[in-house]
Structure formats: C-alpha cells, structure tokens
Structure 1
Amino acid sequence: MGITATAKTKVSIGTTASFATAVAYAGDTWTGIANITDVGEAGTEAEILIGKFVDQAYVRKLKGSRDNGTMNIVVARDSADVGYAALVAAEATEFAYNFKVELNDKPSTGSAPKNSVFYFSAIIASKKNNFGDADTLVTTTFALAISGPIIEVAASAS
C-alpha cells in the first residue's frame, strides 16, 4: 500500500455493545464525528515487570499486561454536529463505547477497494475545551482511554 497521510481519515463513535471481531464491530451503528483537527495516537505497550534477585547479577525483565493507551482526539467545538454531541453524551457516562478509525488508504485498483479500519472500545475519560486567543478555533479534546484490543482490518483491493 505504501505510506499515507491522515487527511480524510474518518472517526466514528458506535454503541456500548461488546464485540470481539472486526465483522461484529462493522455491524455496529456508527455516527461520524466532524471537524476533527487531530486524531491522536494509539497502540500497544507492554508493562515491564522487573525482578531483582539477590543470587543474580542482572535485572530480569518480563512483559506484563498490554495497554493500548489513550487516544486524544481534538475536535472543533460544534454542538450542532451529531458526532460531537455523541462524544459529549458518552463522556458523561461510565460506559465504554465502540470507535472506528478509517484511513484514506484504499488501493487505486481492484474490484472494490477498501480503506484500512481500526476498531476498539474506549471510555471517554475527559473532555477539555481549549479557548486560545482571538485567532484560535475553540476546540475540545476528548481522551479515549482504550479498553482491550485494537482490531485492524488492512486496506484491500476487494
């Protein structure tokens, strides 16, 4: 596929239903989020377990639990956007919501080219407004604390 830019990436919020496969996630009801200025980052990082033993000269390290982190998405504040409203409502709850991140990276050829898609469940841990100076868009940063795996469906030609 080659490298790709973030431009034209789409982020959507789903329901609180629990899914374990890409096929199940794909069947969720999705609401697109408009006016995103920064999608943020997410990915796995293992907790490092450290053992120091008196009968050994070196520290021993093992991989522990994996954490997919917190994706901070920055959205231009638009209370008329249904996606923005869904994020605000979700932040007020304790529930994990499904998210879909779709890149703009589908192949230029093929019978039915498809973009890469990432699915995950996350609680919205925070909602912070940035007011800035006179020449700054008012934005809201939503912290999506990812709970569980990120399921990636690679771009394909069909």
Structure 2
Amino acid sequence: MTIFTTAGTRLYIGGPLAAKSTDFVEADFVGQSALWVEIDETEGLGSAGDTSSEVTFDGINSGRTRRLKGTRSAGTMDIVCGLDATDPGQIALIAAERTKGDYAFRVVLADALPGGTPSERMFVAQVGSAAEQYDTANSVMKLNASLWINSNIVKIDAEV
C-alpha cells in the first residue's frame, strides 16, 4: 500500500451542472472537459465524503432507541487560497458564489505512480461562500470558500 501527500493536488471549477436525483457517473462530466479552470494558490482543500443522517425511533415496548440511516450528505468542502485577484479559477469561484446554481468541481490528487495517471474526484456543488481574510501584517491575504456538495463524489482510480 502506498500513501501520498496532499502537496501537488489540484482543484478545478467547471461550468454549471445541475444536481440530479440519481448518482453522477464519470460520463456526466465529459461536457466539462473544455470548461475546467484550475483554482490556483490553494492552501487547504478541506474534506468531502458521504455521511448519513441519523434517524431514531424510541420503541416503547423494548425501551430501546433504534438508529437508522437517513439521507446522505457529501458535506461542505472548505477551500483556503492565497488571495489572487487575477487568478481565473478564483474569479470563477467568486462568480459562482453570486449565482444560485450548482457547478462541476474536479479534484486531481497527487497520487500518480511513475508513468501513470492520478486519481480524480468529481462532484457538483454550490459555492456557499467566498470571503476574503486579511489577518495580521505577517499573513498572506486569503480567499475562503465553502463548497456545498449536492451530489455523490465520483471517484476515478489512478492508473499505471
């Protein structure tokens, strides 16, 4: 088994892509190929992945709470970037925050083996926030964005 660092991972924003009632598959993102724009100067990519809501039932005769799985949420991916007002990816991210629609996102992990291709993650999300952070004199100004993931996460394995 091989592990990898996050360094070298890349985040891209695509064009509008509406959420749907069924899971996305890789083919659903084919139309985004010419639209992907890298969001540069990323410092933190947060986390993403399904979590089930807890549904409880208090049984009177058993005196026991039963737990069931409800709806699934892929969560909120909190992105931190060094603020770059000229970066096309950051400009697209800020523009997406100003709309009410979903956008395609793509994460290309830094896990390619020599001569191979890296794995990828693709999903649909709304940009819930895009806020600037200034902090202190010895700080880099940041762009903090929250991606409200509205789909499953399509995983594409690395290939050798």
Please state which band the TM-score falls in when normalised by the shorter chain: over 0.9
- What RMSD, in angstroms, separates the aligned Cα atoms of the two structures? 1.3
Distance in 1, Cα, partners of 2:50 & 2:56: 19
Match of 1:45 in 2: 51
Equivalent position of 2:122 in the other structure:
119
- Secondary structure of 2:59's aligned partner: coil
Question: 1:18 Cα shift?
Answer: 4.1
* TM-score normalised by the chain length of structure 2: 0.92
Per-residue CA deviations over 1:104-155 (Å, capped at 9, x if unaligned) read 111224xxx1101000000011112111100100001100000010000011
Letter in 1 for 2:29: Y
Runs of 4+ that moved beyond 3 A: none
Structure 1 partner of 2:148: 145
Residue 16 of structure 1 is matched in structure 2 by: 16
Residue pair 2:129, 2:146 contacting (<8 A) in 1 also: yes
Aligned residues: 154
Residue 52 of structure 2 aligns to which amino acid in structure 1?
A: A
- Structure 2: segments with no counterpart, 5+ residues: none
Work out the percentage of aligned pairs sharing the same amino acid.
Answer: 30
Q: Return 5+ residue gaps in structure 1 as ranges.
A: none
Structure 1 residue matching 2:145: 3-state secondary structure: strand
Q: Which moved more, 1:15-24 or 1:140-149?
A: 15-24
Do structure 1's residue 62 and structure 2's residue 65 form an aligned pair? no
Whether the 8 Å CA contact 2:120–2:158 is kept in 1: the answer is yes
Displacement of 1:57 in angstroms is: 2.2
- Give the distance between the partners of 1:129 and 1:89, measured in 2 at CA: 14
Matched, 1:34 2:37: no
Contact 2:42–2:79 (CA under 8 A) maintained in structure 1: yes
Cα distance in 2, alignment partners of residues 44 and 4 from structure 1: 22
Distance 1:34 1:14 in 2: 14
